[in-house]
Chain A
Amino acid sequence: MTADAKPDASPVLEVRSLVKRFGGLAAVDDLSFHVRTGEIFAIIGPNGAGKTTTLNLLSGLLIPTAGRIHLSGREIQHLPSFERTHLGLGRAFQVVQPFPEMTVRENVQVGALFGTPGIDRAEGDRRTDAALERTGLTRIAGQSAEELTLLQEKRLEIARALATDPTVLMLDEVMAGLRPGEARQAVELVRDVRESGVTIVFIEHVMPVVRDLADRVLVMDHGRFLAEGSYTEVTADPAVIEAYLGRDDDGTGDEDPDRDDREDPR
């Protein structure tokens, strides 16, 4: 499927003038962008830029104050989460939240059995096994999801989302807190998923990962669109440099993938 893996011009995900206000504060403010079929699309920005809020709006955990979201041409901003998942929008969370009472396999099974409507049990089991295999979790499939290492938790997060059979997979800081070797494995996994024809949207603080993975990068600041382009283009943009360096906050141009981002409030 290498032909599909190359970005194609048609947008699979389109966001138009998206707004989310909490009280008086606009966490996402008139944001527009589109993601092309088959590409790896990164969303970056300083802490508090509204990246996770944007993903929450996309996956239906938040309902936008205004604006539209189209997935494969269908308007989805008013749909509940499960319907967006059925339409092919998968999501892995930043703060990993496996279902603790279930085994690794059962966790993945939830996505496999319910991610696509009308799937039968046997097909659900096949998808579960495939997702476990792909993320290297087969060996610990019977283990309780409570007793995993951070890397295993991140893999489970991705496995669950993959099991829903997404056309667009959204990853929220999956590299955060991983050691350099682990992050490299995770990068390989994301590439491999893209090769199979899945479009990827990811939020990342670890800049080398963004540089290695992203076809295009969207930079957000204060909930707004700041810049968009290739990694080289956006990192050369004076506005982006200003946003990252012009203020005193952390999470800036993070060159150290070893840093533990787990405590990040966003």
Chain B
Amino acid sequence: MSPNVRNRLRDLIPVLLFAVALWFLPDLLRSWSGRASVSYLSLVTNGLGLAVLALSWDILARTGQLSLAHAAFYGAGAYVTAILARLEVGPLWLGIPAAGAFAVLLALGLGVVTLRLKGIYFAIATLAFTEVLRSAVRQLPTSFAGGSAGMNVAPLFRPAFDPETMERWEIAFLRNEGYFLLYAGLLLLTIGLSLWTRRSRLRPAFTAVRTNEEVAGVMGVHPARMKLLAFALSSLSVGMLGAIHAHRVGSVIPEGAFAVSTTVFALVTPIFGGLYTTLGPILGAGVLAGIEETLKRNLADGYLIGYGLVLVLSILFMPRGIVGMVRGIARRRRAARAGVTSEGGEA
């Protein structure tokens, strides 16, 4: 077996296990907790959404582009599917790939404009882009996009109630299960895109562009192409996420769809979990979603303060995120074992 095949299997097996676990999760929840599974499923779906947000943001960050435009793609996706649904062009589900495609186009446009911007200037430009998009959507004709009041979005799933075989709550369960599976599928797609950039030659290219764009160019890497590719991959998932979310909650308003908090979660989660990895953002999403829910239940009003405290402490004590911390511990252990014999000059 060639090393390439072995590497691919090493990726494929955990992803497959994760996919199988997600597939069986709704039924397991139902048989364990009955009616309460409706809200559990909804919580897990939120966690999956956070993972998509975080992982897609991380893909872009791998090229050194610390974007504050994630809410823009998210909101644009939500509005694309809402408008298509209102115009009744084609089936409802078509809005999701259309949202992804539209987000990619927006991202390429923004990417071209911001190519030469670095660091804080890039961040401010992407933030401004989000604000401009939100204002623009608010200014669109009310009959077309609902104005500042927003508009309703038809649900994707309408399970039929059969009084013979079902209880009332099972309708909600089936609906939540549908969205859960969509979110899970979108996360798997994002994982696929992420692994592609980590296992192909894009990995050294992205890292080179991030650490030293000039030298990357002299090594033959096309920096602009890499940055735009990362933008496109990153926005595809977020655009679709925004669209599915709009169907799930049943409405879109400019303030919600383009909320700054979406951008904040998109960047905080991978930093918490471990930047530039596939596992880090997913792990970060799982842990943060869990912490948030626990705090919400126990602190009711003050939960955001507790949440903020957790984030501050984690940045202070594990600046490289969960994945970075675990790797650091593993490396120190190995060094300790090997270091007994050698004199190891470097700390």
Contacts and interface: CB of A to CB of B under 8 A. Distances in A.
Contacts of B221: 82, 110, 114
A116 B211 contact: no
- Contact size range, A: 20 to 34
Nearest to A106: B204
A100 interface: yes
A188 to B, nearest CB: 25
Interface string B125-147: 00000000000000000000000
Interface string A76-118: 0000111001100001010001011110001001110111110
A84 to B, nearest CB: 8
B346 interface: yes
Nearest to B221: A114
Given A99-B207, A101-B207, A124-B201, A111 B214 contact: no
Contacts of B22: none
A99 B212 contact: yes
A147 B211 CA distance: 16
A37 interface: no
A47 interface: no
Nearest to B210: A101
Contact of B216 (A106, A109, A110): A110
Nearest to A111: B219
Given A99-B207, A102-B204, A110-B204, A115 B215 contact: no
B211 A91 contact: no
A9 B221 CA distance: 32
Contacts of A59: 218
A197 interface: no
Q: Is the interface of B mostly helix, strand, loop or mixed?
A: helix
Interface string B211-236: 11011111111110000000000000
A193 B220 CA distance: 20
A109 B204 contact: yes
A60 B208 CA distance: 17
B205 interface: yes
| Best-surrounded residue of B211, B217, B346 (most CB of chain A within 10 A) | B217
Nearest to B345: A147
A73 B130 CA distance: 47
B220 A99 contact: no
B223 to A, nearest CB: 7
Contact of B208 (A81, A99, A147): A99
Contacts of A61: 214, 217-218
A164 interface: yes
A100 B221 CA distance: 17
A81 B214 contact: yes
Interface in B243-289: none
B346 A114 contact: no
Nearest to B203: A106
Contact of A116 (B214, B215, B220): B220
A160 interface: yes
Given A111-B219, A111-B220, A116-B220, A97 B201 contact: no
Contacts of B346: 147
Nearest to B347: A147
B222 A82 contact: yes
B215 A164 contact: no
Contacts of A16: none
Contacts of B218: 59-61, 81-82, 85, 91, 93
Contacts of B201: 109, 113-114, 121, 124
Nearest to A115: B220
Contacts of B211: 99-101
Nearest 9 CB-CB pairs, A to B? A81-B217, A114-B220, A85-B220, A115-B220, A114-B221, A111-B219, A113-B201, A110-B204, A99-B211
Interface of A: 59-61, 80-82, 85-86, 91, 93, 97, 99-102, 106, 109-111, 113-117, 121, 124, 147, 160, 164
Given A106-B204, A113-B201, 6 more contacts: A60-B218, A99-B204, A102-B204, A109-B201, A114-B221, A121-B201
24 contacts: A61-B214, A81-B217, A81-B218, A82-B222, A85-B220, A97-B215, A99-B204, A101-B207, A102-B204, A102-B208, A109-B201, A110-B205, A110-B208, A110-B219, A110-B221, A113-B201, A113-B205, A114-B205, A114-B221, A114-B222, A121-B201, A124-B201, A164-B219, A164-B220
